[in-house]
Chain A
Amino acid sequence: DAGVIQSPRHEVTEMGQEVTLRCKPISGHNSLFWYRQTMMRGLELLIYFNNNVPIDDSGMPEDRFSAKMPNASFSTLKIQPSEPRDSAVYFCASSRRTSGTDTQYFGPGTRLTVL
């Protein structure tokens, strides 16, 4: 069974450019989470979806960030325009149910560098 798939694995871009990160959750999972990890701030939840519907986006830093989940097998996180402070590792995770007992399965992450 394939795990959570993220692409690209590495992205280097220049300030002001648009960046799109992609995630394919595990088949059959109903919840999807986007996290950002930095040395300074640790692991931060940006947004999560249940059954393709955004439930809580209070962690999205500002209007430059947006996320979509058009269907159960695909989600995107977009940053427009990007800034150097957006440099981080972005993780996507999915879980089977909207239940507190369920494990989250993380993808390998996308390492974003904004110059």
Chain B
Amino acid sequence: GDSVTQMEGPVTLSEEAFLTINCTYTATGYPSLFWYVQYPGEGLQLLLKATKADDKGSNKGFEATYRKETTSFHLEKGSVQVSDSAVYFCALSAETNAGKSTFGDGTTLTVKP
């Protein structure tokens, strides 16, 4: 079945550091890939997504590129802020699954001033 493997956390960075959170997936066909973010006490919300190979999703300075050859969708940001502290979830959704998504375990990011 489909699966998503995320870099284990927690990740602690200083403000303005470069961020990479690794995500690899296993799926049949051509899934869409997502990064969701969960701030403390809130539900998950979409950060960015990519629906086909070589697409780059971007939002709020975060980027991720859909790499089919390496089955990866790594999240990057050039300069993190304290306000980026949250839990980040990588997810995939396949057309054959009628909208059902498979989520990774989440990576907790803490940014210190």
Contact = CB atoms under 8 A, between A and B. Distances in A.
A111 B41 CA distance: 10
B44 interface: yes
Given A48-B99, A95-B99, A101 B32 contact: yes
Contacts, number: 66
B42, B43, B98, B105 — most chain A CB neighbours (10 Å): B43
Contact of A31 (B44, B99, B105): B99
Given A45-B100, A50-B98, A105-B46, 19 more contacts: A31-B99, A42-B105, A45-B103, A48-B100, A55-B100, A56-B100, A97-B99, A99-B95, A99-B99, A100-B94, A100-B97, A100-B99, A101-B93, A103-B49, A104-B99, A104-B101, A105-B45, A106-B44, A108-B41
Interface of B: 31-32, 34, 36, 41-46, 49, 51, 89, 93-101, 103, 105-106
